[in-house]
Amino acid sequence: PPFTIPEGTDPERAWTKLKNTIENDSVLKTKVVDDSLHYIRAEAPSVFPPTSIDDVEFLMPVPSDMKIFYRSNSRDLIKAGQQFQVSDSGTHKKRLDRVQSGAGLGTMEEVTNDAAKYLEDFNNMNFFEKQQFLSKPADINFLDNKVPQ
C-alpha cells in the first residue's frame, strides 16, 4: 500500500521532507526530481546481483489524496532454476521502511480486494509463470516506465 501523509500535514511539506530524507540517505543517490509532477527517481546498489542497480521511485500524483506511491526493484532479473529462489535479504523493504520513517510518513491499514487478489494470483503461479510475469512491464507506470541507461 502507498505511504500516507499524516492528517494535518501539508502535502507539499511532506513532499519536501521526503526529498530531504532521500537526498540525505547514505545509500540512495537522487537522479531525477520533478516537483511539478511530484516524482523522484533514485538509485541504489543492488545486493543481488552485486553489480546491478536498484531503481527506487516515488510519486505523489494527487497531493490532496495524501498518498505517496513507491516502487523499488532491481534492473536485473535473476533466473536460478525452480528449486533455488534468489532473495534480496529484505533490502528493498528495509530501504523503503528507512525512507518512510525518516520522512515521517504512515501506511494505509487496509489492503484492497484487488491487491489481495493480485497477491493470491501471484502466489499461485509456478516459478516459470512468475518469471514470465515479472519480465513484463509493470501495470503500475511511474511516468514512462523506462529503465535509465
pLDDT tens digits for range 42-74: 999 988 777 889 999 999 999 999 999 999 988
Task: Work out the widest C-alpha separation in the chain, in whole angstroms.
Answer: 49
Q: Which residue has the cell 489492503?
A: 111
Is residue 96 very low, low, confident or very high in pLDDT (cuts 50, 70, 90)?
very high
Per-residue pLDDT, 79:
56
In whole angstroms, give the CA distance from residue 23 to residue 60.
Answer: 17
Per-residue pLDDT, 105:
96
